[in-house]
Amino acid sequence: MPFVDVSLVHLLYSQYAGEEAVVPLHDDDGVASTSPLAARGQAAVHSVLDRLRVRFVPMQDGSMLRSINTPADYQRYCHAQVVQ
């Protein structure tokens, strides 16, 4: 499940210009990708976005993009917040 940081919401909102969706893009190498959803096998999400007017926002820093799927992911996230 994606974990949404409020700073990401502010960034995406600042990029909104009337589209139906504003989507952050970031690959594992820190370089924005033009089609990460299809590349990662997320065809269901990709097929929905194909039907919308979408603004893709390249993310140089992936720290605002987190996926928390397990208790261990959540623990790592909490630990990282304490360390910062």
Query: pLDDT by residue (tens digit) across 5-57?
Result: 788 889 999 999 999 999 888 765 433 444 455 555 556 777 788 889 999 88
Name which residue leads in pLDDT, 22 or 77.
22
Scanning the structure block, which residue is given the tokens 């397990």?
70
62-84: average pLDDT = 80
The predicted structure's pLDDT at residue 42: 57
Q: Report the amino acid identity of residue 45.
A: V
Element (H, E) at 24: strand 21-25
Q: Please spell the DSSP secondary structure of 30-61, one letter per residue.
A: SS--SSHHHHTT-HHHHHHHTTS-EEEEE-S-
Domain boundaries, the chain: 2-83
